[in-house]
Amino acid sequence: MARGAVDVVCKKPVSRARLCEALAMLRRERRHGKTLERRLADGDRQLREMAALARIGSWEFDLSNDQIRWSEETFRIFGIEPGAQEPEFADILLSIHPDDAPVLDHAIQRALINGESYRLDLRIRCPDGLQKHIHAQGSPVYDEYRTVARIIGTVLDITERKQAEQKLLQDATYDALTGLVNRRTLYEKIEAAIQTARMTKTSLCVCISDVDRFKVVNDTFGHAAGDEVLIAYAQLLRNGIRDSDIPGRLGGDEFCIVLPNSTSGQAVICLERIRLRFKNTMFRAGQNEYFVTATMGVAEWTEQMTAKDFLEAADQALYRAKEQGRDRILAGDFPD
């Protein structure tokens, strides 16, 4: 008998105990493998859920095959069903606001050529027409030859944050009731208008106006009626002046209009039309109908005037107009 055959015959048979132990080990390893698979799947699912909750999407631009890959949340941010289409760079640029698309294109080119990372706030339009704000980040990834092989990045939906910022700016700049600029912004506009008039050697006027006997309206017909009067007057101011003029509400029933490139005579002609329209506007409160008038004081800026002097001159003109019976316009340098 050959040596090999003798060796086989002489080997000890595997015991049943060892065989059972080996099978048990295989089962444990299989269970462990499945557990790892479940944990990986759970981890991946949790990452997707957290990304969706935080509105953060991820993406990758593989230069070797010119392929762009998006996460599910990136698809959702852009208003596209996840996996519905393979994203193309041209399609991405088309979804970006026309003013922002060149900025993104330039940033990506610098990432490709110079290896620069970028962070940008961009505006996008979804296929359904919805407009969003996103924060986009991108960073180059190098291969072993120190050549940019990929660009990876994230997109964050910041629409709600931008809307909150815009509301804060709106509240800080405009009067909530009338929509005109508020007192603080008006003072800033007057300072800027004075600087412009000084540099360009042009005329500048300011008007301060009160709604006549506004307290009587509030006391008789209620504050809602008073608000209606203020809103109507603000709208008449907006409609009756030039685009370059600036109407604002100082507070209560007091308004102010800045009129660049206007002499006091020109300002009075413009404002007189507004005064007459307001005088002929009929208001209703329940079964009651009533009319309201306004009084205006106008001042023309001179080189010696500060912003405070300028406003005081208009206020003095307004005071004199009220003394003369209200429902009229009086300019500081205009015949009584």
Q: Indicate whether 155 and 180 sit together in one domain.
A: no
What's the CATH code of the domain at 159? Answer: 3.30.450.20
pLDDT, tens digit, for every residue of 156-177? 999 999 999 998 888 899 999 9
pLDDT of residue 90: 78
Q: Quick one: what percent of the chain has pLDDT higher than 90?
A: 67
Q: What angle do CA 113, 116, 117 make, to 5 degrees?
A: 135
Q: Indicate whether 290 and 141 sit together in one domain.
A: no
pLDDT, tens digit, for every residue of 268-316? 999 999 999 999 999 999 899 999 999 999 999 999 999 999 999 999 9
Domain count, the chain: 2
Who wins on pLDDT, 144 or 255?
255
Of 299, 258, 257, nearest to 278 by C-alpha is 257
Q: Provide Rg for the chain, Cα atoms.
A: 37
Q: Is residue 15 part of a domain?
A: no
pLDDT of residue 66: 85
Q: Indicate whether 259 and 316 sit together in one domain.
A: yes
Q: Is residue 45 part of a domain?
A: no
Question: Regarding beta strands 204-211 and 148-157, do their DSSP bridges make them parallel or antiparallel, or are they unpaired?
Answer: unpaired
Domain boundary among 140, 164, 188: 164
What's the CATH code of the domain at 192? Answer: 3.30.70.270
pLDDT of residue 271: 97
Q: Is residue 182 part of a domain?
A: yes
Q: Is residue 43 pLDDT above 60, yes or no?
A: no
pLDDT of residue 123: 95
Most confident of 6-10, 26-30, 167-171, 253-257: 253-257
Q: Indicate whether 186 and 302 sit together in one domain.
A: yes
Q: Is residue 92 part of a domain?
A: yes
Q: Indicate whether 107 and 215 sit together in one domain.
A: no
Q: Indicate whether 101 and 197 sit together in one domain.
A: no
Q: How far apart are CA 121 and CA 135, in angstroms?
A: 4
Residue 137 burial (CB count, 10 A): 17
pLDDT range class, residue 1, cuts 50, 70, 90: very low
Domain boundary among 120, 142, 164: 164
Q: How far apart are CA 310 and CA 190, in angstroms?
A: 9
DSSP codes joined into one string, 245-274: -EEEEEETTEEEEEEET--HHHHHHHHHHH
Q: Indicate whether 142 and 182 sit together in one domain.
A: no
Q: Indicate whether 76 and 142 sit together in one domain.
A: yes
Domain that holds residue 67: 55-164
Q: Which of 41-45, 76-80, 95-99, 187-191 has the lowest mean pLDDT?
A: 41-45
Q: Is residue 40 part of a domain?
A: no
pLDDT of residue 19: 65
pLDDT of residue 5: 45
Domain boundary among 134, 164, 194: 164
Residue type at position 334: F
Q: Is residue 25 part of a domain?
A: no
Q: Indicate whether 249 and 228 sit together in one domain.
A: yes
Judge whether 145 and 155 are in contact, CB under 8 Å.
no
Q: Is residue 42 part of a domain?
A: no
Q: Indicate whether 200 and 326 sit together in one domain.
A: yes
Q: Where are the beta strands (DSSP E) in 109-220?
A: 118-125, 131-142, 148-157, 204-211
Is this model's pTM higher than 0.75 or not? no
Q: Indicate whether 179 and 276 sit together in one domain.
A: yes
**How many residues are present in the chain?**
336
Of 153, 150, 112, 159, nearest to 136 by C-alpha is 153
Q: How far apart are CA 332 and CA 336, in angstroms?
A: 9
Q: Indicate whether 197 and 315 sit together in one domain.
A: yes
Judge whether 217 and 229 are in contact, CB under 8 Å.
yes
Q: Is residue 114 part of a domain?
A: yes
What's the token pair of residue 274?
């507004």
pLDDT, tens digit, for every residue of 53-111? 556 899 999 988 888 989 989 999 999 888 777 788 777 888 999 999 999 999 999 99
Q: What are phi and psi of 315, to 5 degrees?
A: -65, -40
Q: Is residue 45 pLDDT above 90, yes or no?
A: no
Helix axes 214-221, 223-240, angle to 10 degrees: 140
Q: What are phi and psi of 260, to 5 degrees?
A: -70, 155
